[in-house]
Chain A
Amino acid sequence: DAGITQSPRHKVTETGTPVTLRCHQTENHRYMYWYRQDPGHGLRLIHYSYGVKDTDKGEVSDGYSVSRSKTEDFLLTLESATSSQTSVYFCAISESSGVYEQYFGPGTRLTVT
């Protein structure tokens, strides 16, 4: 299994509070991704990173920001959590350009009350 950890694994937070989710990899892969998974929608890309300090938006980026200050860490921040952001969040990694396989972390279940 790819060395990917996510923390926390579960979190309950209140509407309006900021939340940061962490993804940590030990594979030294260049690309990192944040997805959300919701019933009936599959996985949708929030943001991704193609290197340290290099990030770009995915299809559902509103209300989310990311940062990558080290190769191994990719942080997802919900600036002001809303109930619509209740979801399961997955981090994934991919090795290099043109190698499309992505390997997934175990997920973080976030509930916004």
Chain B
Amino acid sequence: AQSVTQPDIHITVSEGASLELRCNYSYGATPYLFWYVQSPGQGLQLLLKYFSGDTLVQGIKGFEAEFKRSQSSFNLRKPSVHWSDAAEYFCAVASTGGGNKLTFGTGTQLKVEL
């Protein structure tokens, strides 16, 4: 069965610094991968997705992610973090078995220091 691991529960960065959030997946075939962001008290918003093709994908709010098959990773990056990026970030992989289901990681809470 597919699974997603986000090894960092909490990350703190200074405003203006670069950011990388880690995501490792377990999946037998070429995965469909997603990053979502959740601001406090809100639902999840889709940041970006990877289906195939170019392994570097661009998303909204200046985020990008790189798919590395050899490392089973799909890490999220941003060159310069803004205070408004403080939120929880979830990585997800499409599940097998139909239903367009997603399997989510447990999330990484990002704190931005001013």
CA distance A40 to B46 in the complex (A): 20
- Give the Cβ gap from A60 to chain B, nearest Cβ, in Å: 12
- Determine whether A3 belongs to the interface, using a CB cutoff of 8 Å to chain B: no
In the complex, which residues of chain A have a beta carbon less than 8 angstroms from the beta carbon of B53? Answer: none
Query: Which residues of A from 52 to 100 have beta carbons under 8 Å from B?
Result: 56, 58, 90, 92, 94, 97-100
The number of residues on chain B lying at the interface, defined by a beta carbon within 8 Å of a beta carbon of chain A, is: 21
What number of residue pairs across chains A and B have CB atoms under 8 A from each other?
A: 54
Most buried by A among B36, B46, B94, B99: B99
In the complex, which residues of chain A have a beta carbon less than 8 angstroms from the beta carbon of B98? Answer: 50, 97
Q: Given A48-B101, A50-B99, A98-B100, A104 and B106 touching (CB < 8 A)?
A: no
CA distance A99 to B101 in the complex (A): 10
Are B90 and A56 closer than 8 Å at their CB atoms?
Answer: no
Are B100 and A104 closer than 8 Å at their CB atoms?
Answer: no
In the complex, which residues of chain A have a beta carbon less than 8 angstroms from the beta carbon of B32? Answer: 100
- Determine whether B43 belongs to the interface, using a CB cutoff of 8 Å to chain A: yes
Please encode chain A, from 101 to 113, with 1 for each CB lying within 8 Å of some chain B CB and 0 for all others.
1111111000000
In the complex, which residues of chain B have a beta carbon less than 8 angstroms from the beta carbon of A100? Answer: 32, 34, 49, 94, 100, 102
Beyond A50-B99, A97-B100, 20 additional contacts (C-beta under 8 Å) are A31-B99, A31-B100, A33-B101, A42-B90, A42-B105, A42-B106, A42-B107, A43-B104, A45-B102, A48-B99, A90-B44, A94-B100, A100-B49, A100-B94, A101-B46, A102-B100, A104-B44, A107-B41, A107-B42, A107-B43
The 3 closest A-B pairs by CB, nearest first: A104-B43, A42-B106, A104-B44
Sample 22 A-B pairs with CB under 8 A, ordered by A number.
A4-B43, A31-B99, A40-B106, A42-B90, A42-B104, A42-B105, A50-B98, A56-B99, A90-B43, A92-B44, A98-B100, A99-B100, A100-B100, A101-B46, A101-B49, A102-B100, A102-B102, A104-B43, A104-B45, A106-B42, A106-B43, A107-B41
